[in-house]
Amino acid sequence: MIANINARSTTSLDGQWQAIVDPYDVGAVDYRAQPLKSNGAFYKNYKPQSKSELVEYDFDSSGQLHVPGDWNTQRDSLLFYEGSVWYKRSFDYAKSPKKRVFVHFGAANYMAYVYLNGEELGQHEGGFTPFDFEITDRVRPEGNFLVLRVNNTRGKDQVPTVNTDWWNYGGITRPVTLVEVPETFIQDYLIQLEKGSTGQIKGWVQLNGPQLRQNVTIRIPEAGLSKSFQTDPAGHAEFSFGANLTLWSPENPKLYTVEISSETDQVTNHIGFRSIGVRGTDILLNGKPIFLRGVSIHEEAPLRSGRAWSEDDARTLLGWAKELGCNFVRLAHYPHNEAMLRMADEMGVMVWEEVPVYWTIQWENPVTLRNAENQLNELITRDHNRAALIIYSVANETPIGDARNRFLSQLIQQAHSNDPTRLVSAALQADEVEEGNRLSIRINDPIANELDVMGTNEYIGWYTRRVADLDSTDWTSKYDKPLVMSEFGADAVFGLHGDSQARWTEEYQESLYEHQIGMLKRITFLRGTTPWILKDFRSPRRTLPGIEDYLNRKGLVSDHGEKKKAFFVLQNFYRQLQNAN
């Protein structure tokens, strides 16, 4: 994967694409369920050569879908659709001499089968991470046609699996871009502060192409830095050097222009430098203890329905979080689009990113584990230069057991070894123990031993017990580690009023937040909160008519952007925390 394509010479393929809805995959397999190779295969984009020839598909008269975008919110008939849609887009491309060309996809949910000019380029599994294919020798000056079959059928062995509390939006949900690079190009690089240091930059550069041994220079003009290195025969160079930098923080999200140049290529990135670590139950940003004032966010557009993908979407969502007083967001439950991370870097919001290892997963299945590892890798590769990114979360509410423990342990090790500088967490669930007339909640999950930060989701006052019970609930942990309360919340319909005992009212939600905050203040090892959730979001599990209407209503903001009463309760708590610092 090519890192940071924003810094490249690119051509956008976004816009209207021709689209064929294919619920039975007739464009891919024949009536004996064998792969289609004839002109009947939709990726051939074949046209009848005479009036007698039978061809049963036609992209040009099949309607269009906008890319990027989920298909569910673009046509009423696709609202609940799960299956295949074929996309086609034609383009001309004048390739510069001695350059290589890649086609890059921000994401397509869930499987993507990609073809150029009637030939297969490859496949990608996983709905939320980027992928690219080289097309240097296949792209023509005129009349190219790029075809994708995107299939969002859920499967038990997938990541996520069949059961989730969010809408399974299908489609090419993020931008599609042609990227042109030199024959030997800078494929990826990591330029970050060394773990535990605020004055030492450590990282590597990786070249790709025929001329792998080169001089590479890292320049940070504003900091007066210029360092050169030689890559090894595999095109890799590691480096470490001292730097006197203004550190990135939410209060001062300083980004430097960093230039990485080799003899054949040059790229620029805006990079912030900060350290993140833990000491006992504290989380340290740039060496100082911090409290993560956060909120959970789904990747849904703030002011229209469907998947979010643009810079404007990111600005609005993170703007609401900042208005709440947040210095932190949890991007649940899968990798969000890259614009969110860039915006978080600029706006000074720390980020928890997550892979969709959610609820039940085939813990025993090695293919499922490889898939989860791959999604985690692609996420790390995409975002490892973002200062805002401080935590990787490897799972959400997964049931304790040997196979699950091994699975998560593998992901935790992988995150640590691929990116030693960031913290690793998971949203766990805790045990409830009655002690006299008080309730004790105990964090007791073997996987906590391997995490840097523990996350816990709890729904006291909504799914379990009553709101008043929060006043007599205490938390314990046998781990000397920080806790982020990664979820709590209640559903409320914006504008529905009643007393604080009445479900679905803003008053119920408001009261639950007040009592939750009372309880949270008593947890001595609590270092962050990301209540559930910033905005009402689509969920197929939420069927109650007139109330849910297929929306999870736990938003602090409604699906139309209206702030509920609980928004102001949380805002007030975060103001107190901010003033106490």
Q: Please report, as ranges, the residues that interact with ligand GCB according to CB under 6 A.
A: 165, 333, 396-397, 457, 487, 532, 552, 554
Q: Which is nearer to ligand GCB, 133 or 392 (CB)?
A: 392
CB of 463 to ligand GCB, least distance (A): 7
By beta-carbon proximity to ligand GCB, the closer residue of 293 and 553 is 553
Which of 100, 249, 109 shows the shortest CA–CA distance to 186? 100
In angstroms, give the least distance from the CB of 532 to ligand GCB. 6
Closest distance between ligand GCB and the C-beta of residue 243, in Å?
A: 40
Q: How far is the CB of 517 from ligand GCB (least distance, A)?
A: 19
C-beta of 167 vs 291, nearer to ligand GCB? 167
- For the bound state, the minimum distance from the C-beta of residue 397 to ligand GCB, rounded and expressed in Å, comes to 5
CA atoms of 507 and 537, how far apart (whole Å): 20
- AA letter at 552: N
Name the residue nearer to ligand GCB (CB basis): 8 or 554. Answer: 554
Least distance to ligand GCB from the beta carbon of 540, Å? 12
Distance (Å, rounded) from C-alpha 267 to C-alpha 501? 58
User: Of 261 and 396, which has the nearer Cβ to ligand GCB?
Assistant: 396
Cβ–Cβ under 8 Å, residues 578 and 560: no
219 Cβ contact list (under 8 Å, min separation 6)? 225, 226, 227, 258, 259, 260, 261
> Closest Cα partner for 519 from 466, 446, 463?
466
Count other C-beta atoms under 10 Å from residue 264's C-beta.
17
Helices (H), ranges, 229-325: 311-324
End-to-end Cα, the chain, rounded Å: 42
| Least CB distance to ligand GCB at residue 31 (A) | 40
Q: Smallest distance from the beta carbon of 541 to ligand GCB, in angstroms?
A: 8
Q: In the bound complex, what is the minimum distance in angstroms from residue 366's beta carbon to ligand GCB?
A: 26
Residue 183, C-beta contacts closer than 8 angstroms, at least 6 positions apart = 98, 99, 100, 209, 210, 211, 264
- Decide the pairing of beta strands 176-182 and 99-105: antiparallel
φ and ψ of 479, to 5 deg:
-100, 135
What Rg value do the Cα atoms of the chain yield, rounded? 25
User: Which residue number, 248 or 537, has a Cβ lying nearer to ligand GCB?
Assistant: 537
Q: How far is the CB of 321 from ligand GCB (least distance, A)?
A: 18
421 or 552: CB nearest ligand GCB: 552
Nearer Cβ to ligand GCB (192/457): 457
Write the DSSP assignment of 384-440 as a string of letters.
TT-TTEEEEEEEES----HHHHHHHHHHHHHHHHH-TTSEEEEEE--EEEEETTEEE
CB of 520 to ligand GCB, least distance (A): 17
Residue with smaller CB distance to ligand GCB, 385 or 429: 429
Task: Closer to ligand GCB by CB, 44 or 542: give it.
Answer: 542
Residue nearest to ligand GCB (CB): 165
One-letter amino acid at 535 equals: K
Asked if 474 and 439 touch (Cβ cutoff 8 Å), the reply is yes
* Nearer to ligand GCB (CB atom), residue 106 or residue 160: 160
Q: What is the DSSP secondary structure assignment for residue 322, as one 8-state letter? A: H
Residue 184 or 457 with smaller CB distance to ligand GCB: 457
Residue 539 Cβ vs ligand GCB, minimum distance, rounded to whole Å? 7
Give the bridge partners for 112, in sequence order: 124, 150
What is the DSSP code string of 70-118?
A: -STTT-GGGTT--SEEEEEEEE---PPTTEEEEEEES--BSEEEEEETT
| Of residues 299 and 397, the one with the C-beta less far from ligand GCB | 397
Rounded to whole angstroms, how far apart are CA atoms 540 and 164? 9
**Which CB atom, from 82 or from 548, has the smaller least distance to ligand GCB?**
548
> In this structure, are residues 141 and 93 in contact, taking their beta carbons and an 8 Å threshold?
yes
Is 423 within 8 Å of 453 (Cβ atoms)? Answer: yes
Q: Which residues contact 41 (CB under 8 A, 6 or more apart)?
A: 27, 28
Instruction: Give dist(CA 205, CA 235) in Å, integer.
Output: 8
Question: By C-alpha distance, which of 152, 161, 387, 356 is closest to 255?
Answer: 387
Residue 441 identity (one-letter amino acid): I
> Measured from the CB atom, is 358 or 574 closer to ligand GCB?
358
Q: CA 277, CA 158: separation in Å to the nearest integer?
A: 32
**Minimum CB separation from ligand GCB for residue 310, in Å?**
24
Report the nearest approach of ligand GCB to the CB of residue 104 (Å). 30
Contact indicator for 401, 363 with CB cutoff of 8 Å: yes
Least distance to ligand GCB from the beta carbon of 42, Å? 35
Six-digit token string for 567: 């928004």
